[in-house]
Chain A
Amino acid sequence: MGRTRIWTGLTSLFSFFLVVVIIGMNCMMSYSGTINSALGIATSKVVNGKDADAGDTEYFKSEYGELNAENLQKLIADTYKQSVTEEEEGAVLLKNDNNALPLTADETSVTLFGHAVAQPLYKAASAGSKGYKGEHNIDLYSAFANAGFQINDALYDAYAGSATTRGTGAYDFVSGTSSIWSMGEEDISFYTEDLRASWSDNYNDVAIVMLAREGGEGMELAQQTPDEGISQLALTQKEKDLLQMIKDSKKFDKTIVLLNSGWAMEMEWLDKYDIDACLWIGAPGQRGFEGVANILKGEANPSGRLTDTYAVNSMSAPALVNGSFNNQAWTNLDEVLAASTVEEGDLSYYNVQAEGIYIGYKYYETRYEDVVLGQGNAASKPGSSTGQVWNYADEVRYPFGYGLSYTTFEQTLDSVEVGEDTITVTATVTNTGNKAGKSVVEVYAQTPYGAYEKENLVEKSSIQLLDFGKTGMLEPGASETLTFECDKYLLASYDYVKEKGYILSEGDYYISIGEHAHDALNHILAAKGAVGMTDIDGTAADGDAGKAYRFHESFDNTKYKLSAYTGIEVTNQFDDCDINYWVDGAVTYLSRNDWEATYPTPVQVAANAEMIELLNGFYYEKPEDAPSIDAYIQGDNQQIPLVAMYGLDYDDPQWETYLNQYTIEELASLTADNFGTAEVASTGKPAVIAGDGPDGPGGTFNKDKYGDDRNDTCFPCELILASTFNKDLMLRRGELMGEEAMYLGMAQVWMPGANLHRTPFSGRNFEYYSEDAIMTYLCTIPEVVGIESKGVHAGPKHLVGNDQENNREGISCFFTEQAFREGALRGFEGALAKAGAQTVMQGFNRLGLVWCSVSEALTTDITVNEWGFVGQQETDAVAKGTGYKADYLTALSIGTDTFCLDFAGASSRAIAGAIKEQNDGYLLGKLREATHDYLYTVANSSVMNGYSTDSKVVSVTPWWQPAMYTAIGVFAILSLLSLFMLIQTERKNIIKTEKED
């Protein structure tokens, strides 16, 4: 009987393992793309014919020459150098009393304060490079030590050994929440007498305090922290205690604060605690701290400028009334959910963007001008942080475009020439100080706000960025003249009420330069003859009319009536994204015509039956006149490889012949993007890998090919790049990331991030450029051009309106078409229409009631028809394959091409199944269009390097697949063997028992 137990147990055991490997293999096959990517396995290879003359198959050339180990090292060195330069030029000096910075040669003995010095924020949780995690990362301590600072190790080691941890978004099994929420600062009791003694006699030349703020993908910053109930962007009590302790010690000659944050903080505390200087350093990536050390030592002169307004009170942004954590749920939510066919979170919330165009400085500066000019009830209480009359100095600490230098500059507006399509501005910068440095020239404009605009709800910001540029390194006394060719189109306003198109308003226009947006506005006000202006600290300011230029334009509703990119008429596409379209009078949008009467309030509405139907999605129905699937040729293999399509126009008839080679299943297999797609060997389509940014493509180099398996470089966060105000650096970042992508074998990279900092709390502000749409527009262009120049396709994300992380999946965004076109859409317009990005990733959110990826207005009317976009449009991650994001058929039918992170190929099965079951030739046509869009980008990418029309794409089976099949076979045999032995043993036992009986 003993043997029976052994075989029973072994059969159970082997059966368990068999189940594990069978179900595990099934799962692994679903995630095969991810596994192959993680293991660095290419599932196809190129085999060239022996006799054919392949010619030059290097369609896109690396600037470093052949892709090899030696040249990779040169590229890596350049990315590290670029990272340091970006940090040096992007960090913003906010305060520098008595020239506390740079530190002198004698000021090298320092104590680093703040837990963040031991837990720096290199980047917040998101996609992109993981280079900051490896041995090639340089942390704050190392950067400072390498720069020659003597660091108080006793305190640093205490921080490093402390259990205190800043909330990182990692899942916490103890609390059961998705983030251990913690500001990560030490309690004052942490600083024991022994620790305090460590800086009593030594390491007290300078106290360097680093404060960090962290959000991330899916993690909005808190408007009310769980512990103190204050804004996460305000100074916490522990941070106050720390600064007070340093001040009270009276040991330090200087106190320097570093803001390690990708978000604009509240800074009213900066005038307390005897702080001498403050430098915002963003999230510096894996090499940026070297740049920070260089700035402190004076080896680099800071020249960064803020791309966000630093409000005194981060809650004062009108966008927060209904945005971020103040989203509303439908007042009849129970009814909505009862009628819902998708998941609860997918349709419960909405954000009525009652702020209209007034985001960031466009709010604060416009209201300021109206206060100065005494118009629009601007000085009323609504929106005031003090509860008193609205006063600029009470609301803004640092305006957009602000930033100090170690030297001083004088800027003059030399000339402005207003042409038909461009405005040519020249400005001269002279270094009037005693240190070499770079300076930023910010060109601003004001357009008229008159009776027509008031009557037709055309809102105007009192100041808007028009262009920017940066000088080279100017020695003391040296000058440089910069010339800007500004696009007049950026002065047009979208009139969604009367003209339903862009207009140039009638009246006086102003062009000005300034140290920042507020400065430029004061110059314009001076040119207007206004009085009562104030500087950012509330002191009286005169402005300089000489830095402003006035010209007059007549009303023009024709100049921009047609798209500059395609010639199609530009007209309203988003009427149903105004909540008033659905619920009459639901919202009054903020208007400078009357700030008091229109300041936003929470908008609460119920969803009616028609709205609920739209919220549920799944709109596609086979058209009555849909052809049969036989209308298209399928599987007609002409032995035409994809590389034969390289360089052909999108509309070349050869594409149809090429697509005819695909079966329906093969076409559908390409809709499921898993950071790349598998090969289709029969049509010469290789396996393709995609990267995901925006601070690096995200991958590891192939050691076998290039002798190095480190991660691609984690550059400083995109916000730092924008803050350089240096288009050359933006272009170069794009080029270098394109080069990295070539080494990583990527056809495309999902970057840059082009959403807006609609509020200071959005979890991903660190990886978007700015609160300002034009700044975003101007930044995307050079970066995208740089990436695309390498045969790697830039895919800006997330089109569009994905401006917050709270409720990001499925939230309904309501807005005016003016705000949308001049705001959220503008950055993508720059990337797609101006810079030529050939891929784009859509947003999780809804435009009105409709998911971005099923919005025909977005995917077809705007992106393709108005902007002339040719290429691949992809959803954001549909990984779960459930809820509103599973609406594959509608998405495909209106122009969406591929589905991001569709691990298991749910979209492919759904689409192929629907086409065949319904004999739906219309949808098959759409599938062919989607495949055409996608393969057009692949064919014209650097992954085609090495392929000739003589080449064959050969499938390569990843090693783990035979390994798993072997395991299945082994355990199947063991299970059957042990089962057989069990049966045999039992039979013998029965015979034995019968004999005994």
Chain B
Amino acid sequence: MKELLAKKTIGYYIVILAGILGLVSVIRFLLWAPNHGGMDGIIVVGLVLGLGIDILLIFKDNNYFVILATICYSVAVMQLLTNSVGSFVDVLQGINMFGDASQVGSIVSISVVILVCVLLSVLAGFFKRIKE
């Protein structure tokens, strides 16, 4: 392991961080969504794939994997946000009708974590992940 890490640079650790946050996102989403009518297969697939690719990247560096991970997390967060438009409308209107205003806090917090995954994946693309 020591030998493995010795060859890695900042980009690699960004990928690991993205993976950890991806795991957090999967857990948070799966704990939240079934109880609030927010379950969506596209989001789950996006998050799990993003996480799986990040895990792959730990062992095998590949530029295309980085791009794919970004796309997966992007799809997941956009799907979550667009699914939740009704809840945001309720917040703006001060009512509870189109969605569930009380869940906006959870939606935003999950979305922020996934967005950080996206950001880290993009950054990982720009940084070296292994020593040349």
A171 near B91 (CB under 8 angstroms)?
yes
Q: In chain B, residues 100-130, which have Cβ atoms closer than 8 Å to a Cβ of chain A? A: 101-102, 104-105, 108, 118, 121-128
CB of A216 closer than 8 Å to a CB of B: yes
Please tell me the number of chain B residues within 8 Å of chain A, measured between CB atoms. 38
Give chain A nearest CB distance to B11 CB in angstroms.
8
Min Cβ gap A692→B in Å is: 11
Partner of B126, one of A1, A5, A125: A5
Is the CB–CB distance between A168 and B94 below 8 Å? yes
Given known A-B contacts A8-B67, A169-B95, A217-B95, A19 and B74 have beta carbons under 8 A apart: yes
- Out of A12, A178, A986, which one reaches B102, CB within 8 Å? A178
> How close is A214's CB to chain B, nearest CB, in angstroms?
10
For the complex, is B27 an interface residue (Cβ under 8 Å from A)? no
Q: Do A879 and B78 have beta carbons less than 8 Å apart? A: no
Q: Which of A20-28, A539-547, A658-666, A826-834 contacts B (4 or more CB under 8 A)?
A: A20-28
1/0 per residue, CB under 8 A from A, across B17-61: the answer is 000000000000000000001000000000000000000000000
Contact of A176 among B79, B105, B128 (CB under 8 A): B105
- Given A1, A23, A343, A882, which contacts B82 in the complex, CB threshold below 8 Å? A23
Q: Is the CB of A171 within 8 A of B90?
A: yes
A598 within 8 A of B: no
How many residues belonging to A are interface residues under a CB distance threshold of 8 Å? 44
Contact with B along A152-176 (1 / 0, CB 8 A): 0000000000000000111101001
Interface centre among A19, A219, A880, A901 (most CB of B within 10 A): A19
**Cβ of A8: which chain B residues have Cβ within 8 Å of it?**
63, 66-67, 125-126
Judged by a CB distance under 8 angstroms, whether A47 is at the interface is no
B3 at the interface (CB under 8 A from A): no
Cα distance A11–B121 in the bound complex, in angstroms: 11
Determine whether A9 belongs to the interface, using a CB cutoff of 8 Å to chain B. Answer: yes
Given the complex of chains A and B, what is the CA–CA distance between A902 and B90 in angstroms?
15
Q: Which residues of A contact B97 (CB under 8 A)?
A: 217-218, 877, 879
B130: nearest residue on chain A (CB-CB)?
A1
Contact of B70 among A12, A216, A217, A218 (CB under 8 A): A12
Knowing A31-B85, A173-B105, A880-B86, the reply to whether A218 touches B96 (Cβ < 8 A) is: yes
Q: B37, B78, B90, B126: which contacts A23 (Cβ < 8 A)?
A: B78
Task: Check A19/B104 contact, CB under 8 A, given A8-B125, A11-B67.
Answer: no
- Given the known interface contacts A5-B127, A13-B122, A20-B74, the answer about A177 and B93 at a Cβ–Cβ threshold of 8 Å is no
**Given A9-B125, A217-B97: A26 touches B82 (CB 8 Å cut-off):** yes
Task: Tell me, rounded to whole Å, the shortest Cβ–Cβ distance linking A907 to chain B.
Answer: 15
Tell me the bound Cα distance from A19 to B127 in angstroms.
Answer: 22
Contact status A178-B96, CB under 8 Å:
yes
B93 touches A16 (CB 8 A): no
A8 to B127, CA, bound (A): 9
A7 to B104, CA, bound (A): 36
Known: A9-B122, A12-B122. A877 touches B98 (CB 8 A): yes
Closest to A844 in B: B97
- Asked if A799 lies at the interface with its beta carbon under 8 angstroms from chain B, I say no
Residues A218 and B67 in contact, CB atoms below 8 Å apart: no
Whether A15 pairs with B96 at a CB distance below 8 angstroms is no
Given A15-B67, A982-B63, answer yes or no on A6-B126 (Cβ-Cβ < 8 Å).
Answer: yes
Are the C-beta atoms of B102 and A177 separated by less than 8 Å?
Answer: yes
Q: For the complex, is A784 an interface residue (Cβ under 8 Å from B)?
A: no
The CA of A23 and the CA of B81, in the complex, are separated in Å by: 10
Q: Give A223 to B37 CA distance when docked, in angstroms.
A: 30
The answer on a CB contact under 8 Å between A879 and B95 is no
Q: What is the CA–CA distance of A178 and B108 in the complex, to the nearest angstrom?
A: 15
**When the two chains form their complex, are residues A170 and B126 in contact, meaning their CB atoms are under 8 A apart?**
no
Tell me if A4 is interfacial: C-beta within 8 Å of chain B.
yes
State whether the Cβ of A182 lies closer than 8 Å to any Cβ in chain B.
no
Complex-state Cα separation, A986 to B97, whole angstroms: 52
Q: Which residue of A lies closest to B86 (CB)?
A: A879
B69 nearest in chain A by CB position = A12
**Contacting pair A170 B74 (CB below 8 A):** no
A629 CB to closest chain B CB (Å) equals 32
A217 and B66 CA atoms in complex are apart in Å by 47
B125 touches A171 (CB 8 A): no
**Which A872-911 residues sit within 8 Å CB-CB of chain B?**
877, 879-880, 882, 901, 903
Q: Mark A325-341, 1 if CB is under 8 A from B, else 0.
A: 00000000000000000
Instruction: Report yes or no: A880 in contact with B98, Cβ–Cβ below 8 A.
Output: yes
User: Which residues in A have their C-beta under 8 angstroms from that of B71?
Assistant: 15-16, 19
CA distance A9 to B102 in the complex (A): 37
CA A16 to CA B98, docked complex, whole Å: 28
Say whether B75 contacts A12, CB under 8 Å: no
**Chain A residues in 8 Å Cβ range of B66:** 8, 12
From B63, B98, B102, contact of A901 by CB (8 A): B98
A979 in the interface, Cβ–Cβ < 8 Å? yes
Which A residues touch B121, using CB under 8 A?
Answer: 12
21 contacts between A and B (CB under 8 A): A1-B128, A1-B132, A11-B125, A12-B121, A12-B122, A12-B124, A13-B70, A15-B67, A15-B74, A19-B74, A23-B79, A24-B82, A27-B82, A170-B91, A171-B91, A176-B102, A218-B96, A879-B97, A903-B85, A979-B67, A982-B63
In the A-B complex, list the 4 residue pairs whose CB atoms are closest, starting with the nearest: A9-B126, A9-B125, A27-B82, A8-B125
Beyond contacts A11-B125, A178-B102: 8 other A-B pairs, Cβ-Cβ < 8 A, are A7-B63, A8-B67, A12-B125, A13-B70, A171-B91, A173-B105, A880-B99, A903-B98
